[in-house]
Chains A and B, each alone.
Chain A
Amino acid sequence: MTAYIIRRLWQMVPTMAGVIVLVFILFNWIGGDPAYVLAGKISNQEQIDNIRRQLGVDQPYYVQLWIFVKQVLTGDFGASWSTNERVSNILATRLGPSLTVLVPLLFLDTALSLTLALAVAYVRGSLTDRMVMIVCTIGLSVSVLVYIIVFQYFFAYKLGWFPVQGWGNSFLENLFVYSSLPILIALVVSIAPNLRLYRTFFLDEINQDYVRTGRAKGLSENRIMWIHVLRNASIPIITHLMAGLPGLLLGAFLIERFFSIPGIGREVILAVERSDFPVIKALTVYVAFATMASNLLADLMYKAADPRVQLK
């Protein structure tokens, strides 16, 4: 097991190197000289000179690459070009609000879509099943933007059940007052695709022999569905959940923008608007690392969920 983990960590090195080179090519080579990028955005010549010196723009590319590698290794990505705030500080302070919205969402979404998917898989082929699938298909086709715009207008603006936007200082206030509508909207948007996906996972299992055996020896339907089918279908579910996990670091771009939640998603959009490269570079590197780590974690969880899995 330990040997497996070490080997997997070792295999991350070339991929991480690739990510660093890709980000470097994108921002230092294609992105070009920050003096041009920032022309019109920062008027202070001294500040631009400072940024150029930090990046070593006048140096050859391999020196610039080395500067970037050192930034990644030390975790010090310098300061934001537009606000001069430390990048590490930006990411640390914006992570909280993003997680306040996304962690409850992740739990609610998983619990609800798994339950509903088990239910419709159980009555597969029935009218209920087909109606749910039709609703999901149509629900999936409507743009996320339309959901957010309409829900925000209707529930917050028209009915006044929720604040239109904003963010407070206390955690509980944020969670229950400001996050509830964003979570509700994100739930509506994410349940449809997840329900459809989980349903196909369950359908693959529900006709297996062990289900019939379980019934034959008199297990309750609840036990068959929740214990046996769910556990056997857990590998693709884990894959799907773990693939979404690095998204927690990214926040929800649109939700945070609409509801003025000071999270990472909003920060990324702002950074793109202002050509604030250090923020995007830092986040890309961190999220790439998180993606690889969660892939590894997923593989370890396969083993826990299904002892037949051989890690090699």
Chain B
Amino acid sequence: MANEIALKAPARTAREVPHTVSPGLWALAWKRLKSDHVGMVSLAIVVVFILMMIASGTGLIAGDWSKEVGVNYAAPSFIGADIEAGAPAAPAAPAAPAIPATEYKSDVVDPLADVLAELKGEKKPRAASAEPPAAGAGEKSVDPLADVMADIRKDAKDKKAEVAEARLPTLPLGGDKWGRDVLKKTIKGSETSIFVGLAAAAVATFLGTLFGAIAGYYGKWVDDAFNWFYSVFNAIPYLLLILAVAAVLQQKGTLTIILILGLTGWTGTFRLIRGEYLKHKAREYVQAADAIGASNARRMFVHIFPNVSHVVLVQLSIYTVGFIKAEVILSFLGFGVPVDVVSWGSMLNEAQNELILGKWWQLAAAGTAMAILVTAFSLFTDALRDALDPKLKGLAGA
């Protein structure tokens, strides 16, 4: 909406310069925002993330994220097939086992070798005891990976074509434990995390605005009642309240977590909007609306609300950042999205164990994606606040 106004505004001012309708709040804010380069770049990044969320939600991209396209822990393409990833050498060059074999010898000192072997064993648990002689030199029998290698090579010979077709040795950003594409997982995860953040922020802002408007507008005992309600919610630390609600609501799901975050997070907006309504209800334009017989609801939401909507917008944006962070932590702890839904939090949960194996890419992908979005969103929020309420600029800015 702000966009359309802004597009029209310059044309109008160009034609009839002095006595034109002065640009409204949104047009002015958009103009200020446009001159803020950091804000515009951040806005562009946020828009890209949101478009990605929509594309992923409608299944245009990353719809097949759960397909196991790569080998287990496939390495990122920019590193190349990682030697520790084991399998890559097999389908590509089954005739040249010498190179990987010598590389593996250096792994003998690796204290994690056992763990690695065990993890690979998950996928290929067949007894390798029959194979050791075929695996080659005697000294290699101390290498716990030799058996696995032999096994993998045998597998590769058996169904070379199928393996080569189904399992890629490298993926753009690597693969996870089951060989799923981390890039697609990150996109799918950002869909969940951003959607939860936006939806919960919408719920919290809506509740806070509604309560704040009613309390501030009616005042007296209504205000007292809402203030009591507010102080009750405020007395319980936010995270504890979230965990308490999570403990009570047994069924897990995206809707549940949106409700948890939204129903517990409205207090900050309530306080701000209540203050704004207290200020505005005594103003002349509201008295004028009263004089022409506008109903209470009309005065509250048609007359006053547009004048405080910039506060609401900034709150929405602040909440979104906070809730994205909260969702990641909740999902990490296992109180967030269900197991079959991927989010940045559940990715970080998997990544914790992967890092010990030296598989850092899932951690890096989820962590970086989140850091970029949150940085951009925070900077955009600052720019938005400066643009909508220039009086505040001196307080928060440089």
Contact = CB atoms under 8 A, between A and B. Distances in A.
A280 B229 CA distance: 21
Contacts of B234: 291
A200 B348 contact: no
A140 interface: yes
B374 interface: yes
A138 interface: yes
Interface string A12-52: 00111011001100110011000001000000000000000
Interface string B321-334: 00001001100111
Contact of B367 (A146, A280, A283, A287): A146
A18 B232 contact: yes
State the main secondary structure of chain A at its contact with B. Answer: helix
Nearest to A291: B235
B44 interface: no
Contact of A149 (B241, B245, B363): B363
Given A19-B235, A250-B240, A272 B247 contact: yes
Contacts, number: 126
B371 interface: yes
B382 to A, nearest CB: 9
Interface string A150-181: 10010001000000000000000000000000
Contacts of B231: 15, 18
B284 to A, nearest CB: 32
20 contacts: A15-B228, A22-B232, A26-B248, A27-B248, A124-B398, A138-B375, A140-B374, A141-B370, A141-B373, A145-B328, A145-B329, A146-B367, A149-B351, A250-B237, A250-B239, A250-B240, A277-B247, A280-B240, A284-B240, A291-B235
A124 B332 CA distance: 38
A14 B240 CA distance: 21
A275 interface: yes
Nearest to B334: A273
A125 B398 contact: yes
Contact of A200 (B247, B248, B325, B395): B395
Q: Most A CB atoms within 10 A — which of B247, B250, B328, B351?
A: B247
A150 B329 contact: no
Given A143-B329, A146-B371, A291-B236, 6 more contacts: A18-B231, A143-B325, A149-B352, A149-B363, A280-B247, A291-B235
Contact of A140 (B247, B378, B398): B378
Interface in A70-127: 124-125
A180 B325 CA distance: 25
Interface string A189-218: 000000000001000100000000000000
Given A138-B375, A149-B355, A272-B335, A31 B248 contact: yes
State which size class the interface on B falls in.
35 or more
B367 A143 contact: yes
Given A26-B245, A30-B248, A284-B240, A146 B363 contact: yes
A33 to B, nearest CB: 12
Interface in B201-242: 228-229, 231-237, 239-241
Top 5 closest pairs, chain A to chain B, by CB: A18-B232, A141-B374, A288-B235, A141-B375, A146-B367
A288 B356 contact: no
B108 interface: no
A288 B232 CA distance: 8
Given A37-B250, A138-B375, A149-B363, A284 B236 contact: yes
Contacts of B374: 140-141
A46 B333 CA distance: 31
Q: Most B CB atoms within 10 A — which of A141, A157, A247, A268?
A: A141
B237 A18 contact: no
A3 interface: no
B379 interface: yes
B135 interface: no
A31 B249 CA distance: 7
B235 A137 contact: no
A26 B242 CA distance: 11
Contact of A284 (B228, B244, B351): B244
Given A138-B375, A146-B363, A287 B236 contact: yes
A283 B236 CA distance: 10
A105 B374 CA distance: 26
A81 to B, nearest CB: 11
A137 B379 contact: yes
B235 A204 contact: no
B332 A145 contact: yes
Interface string A131-150: 00000011011111110011
B161 interface: no
A272 B246 contact: yes
A69 interface: no
A267 B239 CA distance: 14
A130 interface: yes
A65 interface: no
A253 interface: yes
A15 B334 CA distance: 32
A271 interface: yes
A263 interface: no
